[in-house]
Amino acid sequence: MAEQRYTIIGGRFVLRQLERRGGVWHCRYRDRVSGRIYSRSTRERERRRAERAAVRIVEEHLQRTAGGRLAEILFADAWDRWLRDKPGRPATLRDQGAVGRVLARALGDRLVSEISHADLSQLFGELAASRAPTTLRKYRTCLRTFYRWCARCRYCGEDPSQGVAVGRGGARDGVALSRAEAARLLEAAGERSRRGRPAPPYLHLAVLLALHAGLRKRNVLQLRWRQVDLAARRIDIPAEEMKAHRAHAVPIHAELDCALRRALRSRPASCEGYVLGRRVGEVLQPFRTALRRAGLAPMRWHDLRHTASTWWLEALPIAVAETLAARRLQGEAARYAHIGFPRLVEAIDELPWIIPRTAASRRRADRSPATLTRKAMP
């Protein structure tokens, strides 16, 4: 019989060997005083990280049961440990790390247990002069999550971020471009733009993907060729990359099809499978430059998705438009409407090109999908 491995923590808790359930490691530990057995999920899929998480869980339990005064730790050190311990997407953790650096300028050298509600209210009042209300709400959300973790670790007795007031600010309305404005933006983002510094080679295709497929910025920048089926005129976005956590299939418009084929023929050997030709971290600055070149007012990248949704709602039935945008239907339609992918392809074909097509592009668009293959796909 195999020997049971265990670890004694604090002379009170006995941590047993980890168990894997549902793809996630769980820990079981026993209180030697009361005899009670606890089972907790580490929320980790890798064993080494799960072992470290299990020890932290038991140590936090030991601190809670020990009572007495709170553990002393500086705000900046606690924030760094919180980020190391918490699961999350790398981009989310980087963003929360940036929030911590902003808050640490005023709170970094203070103990977590010494920070009061009045201190945070004063800090947010000072930040309101240089930050938008949406940014302040993001800071407050991070603080609330951070202080809940601190309470579990016995770094603080209560959450001082509760009740911190942040103004809502004015509502930010979306923008939808007309087709003429979208054509000017594409020309400014593509090879036709010759004034000043040339646009990055990936910008034209990225804008076209957002306008014809309605994809969010993250989906555009991370799109791989293995997700694109030119023969079936289909782009597949897995559930883990979608905001609603539901897989989504996007039909490819004829204009987008021509652009994807050009990109496929000219893709560099080091593209790593990215449709844009390389890994692109941020597209905001070249997008703003293209807006200025096109003579358009400043707008968000997400407004390109607003533009696509507006075009679809103007030309197509609402059930089809909402399905194209990967939004859940409301009311009885959510239960009984099931729009198939062939209908989505027909709907996309009803929409015009943004830039009038040439004779060569018309011949490419009129080719039968049955004659297309994926031999050139990596």
Predicted local confidence at residue 376, as pLDDT: 40
Range of 130-139, 192-201, 204-213, 318-327 with top mean pLDDT:
204-213
- Could you read off the pLDDT of 210-242 as tens digits, one per residue? 999 999 999 999 999 999 999 999 999 998 888
- Mean pLDDT for 107-135 is 86
Please tell me which residue, 361 or 167, carries the higher pLDDT value: 167
341 burial type by CB count under 10 A (0-12 exposed, 13-18 middle, 19+ buried): middle
Residue 100 makes CB contacts below 8 A (sequence gap 6+) with 76, 79, 80, 83, 142
- Mean pLDDT for 66-85 is 80
- Decide: 352 and 178 in contact? Cβ < 8 Å: no
- Write out the H or E segment, with its range, that includes residue 21: strand 19-21
Which residues sit opposite 16 in a β-bridge?
6
SS3 category, 46: coil
Please tell me which residue, 334 or 258, carries the higher pLDDT value: 258
Predicted local confidence at residue 271, as pLDDT: 60
pLDDT at 374 over 60: no
- Decide: 193 and 290 in contact? Cβ < 8 Å: yes
pLDDT band at 369 (very low <50, low <70, confident <90, very high): very low
Predicted local confidence at residue 193, as pLDDT: 44
So where are the chain's domains? 6-66, 75-152, 179-371
pLDDT at 67 over 80: no
Report which of 13, 46, 54 is spatially closest to residue 30, judged by C-alpha positions. 13
The token pair that represents 309 in the structure block? 């949704």
Report which of 171, 159, 146, 151 is spatially closest to residue 96, judged by C-alpha positions. 146
Predicted local confidence at residue 266, as pLDDT: 82
- Mention the CATH class of domain 179-371: mainly alpha
